[in-house]
Chains A and B, each alone.
Chain A
């Protein structure tokens, strides 16, 4: 049992691996820099079949096709913005896992600030009064003394 601990420590410290769906070596671009760029773009695009996965992570057929298109465009020298624009033209902003900042998404993007503001307001209002309580009158003082002395 004691020998297991070092192994557990090593596992705990290991960087979290990503479950890449890209397993086919034919899918990976030969140029490493281009492949990294393609992965970065694909990591921002939603798989439209599974919806909460990126196209890089998904095994869906459509995701596989979109991955291929991303790689073809990257290899052809298209910029990240151009590739994403190509996807948005077909699938709308829904395809972007990081939606743009626009009137429709203002509430979404600003909600942390709003929540922080509301919380700060509530905290300020709910704060207990820091003033010391009013001091006792002479009569009260005498009564307290009498009570304590008995």
Chain B
């Protein structure tokens, strides 16, 4: 083998340099994403919440018990202040997990929470609230789950922040526990009083 010619050397450098460059660019990109994740400006789970920024869908839900009325979109608009709408069920384990957080929110009078028992037997839902505390200002039930689908619900528990104009500002899928959704919630209360 004779000495490498000039074009050979250029080619070898490119063959080494281009993959290295691509790998370096990918690494820098990942690093940028990680930094934005820690700063909170990028959320990989935010695969589109199409309902956020839009008005609450039309709904009229019946009461959970005969003692109080259910609620509808008109009631949400009439509230004139931000509320949380929380979908729960007695058969849902993560709902049990978030119960203390919801009670703490209720006790702190931070924001009214309106509860919707999702595909649950009214007696079971009532027993669940007796056992774990009732953080809800108003209660309704969605037996068919149609209203939940119109909200874009994946499953229970799920919580929606509705501002005073009836616009959905935030959706949290999963249990609200200290640290997970609470930071965002506190910021929302400040942003959309």
Contact = CB atoms under 8 A, between A and B. Distances in A.
Interface of A: 48-49, 61-62, 65-66, 69, 88-94, 118, 121-122, 125-126, 129, 133-134
Contact of A122 (B15, B49, B119): B15
Interface string B15-45: 1001100100000000000000000000000
B17 to A, nearest CB: 10
Interface string B47-85: 111110000000000000000000000000000000000
B145 interface: yes
A121 B2 CA distance: 26
Given A88-B50, A90-B50, A92-B50, A129 B8 contact: yes
28 contacts: A48-B155, A49-B154, A61-B119, A61-B145, A62-B145, A62-B149, A65-B145, A65-B149, A66-B149, A69-B149, A89-B50, A90-B51, A90-B150, A90-B151, A91-B50, A92-B49, A93-B48, A118-B22, A121-B18, A122-B15, A122-B18, A122-B19, A125-B11, A125-B14, A125-B15, A126-B11, A133-B2, A134-B2
A135 B15 CA distance: 29
Interface residues of B, number: 21
Given A62-B155, A92-B49, A126 B15 contact: yes
Main secondary structure of the interface of A (DSSP, over half): helix
Query: Most B CB atoms within 10 A — which of A90, A121, A122, A133?
Result: A90
A137 B48 CA distance: 72
Contacts of B48: 92-94
Contacts of B154: 48-49, 62
B151 to A, nearest CB: 8
A91 B155 CA distance: 12
Given A122-B18, A126-B15, 6 more contacts: A88-B50, A92-B48, A93-B47, A93-B48, A94-B48, A133-B2
Nearest to B22: A118
B36 to A, nearest CB: 16
B193 interface: no
A126 B10 CA distance: 11
A45 B48 CA distance: 15
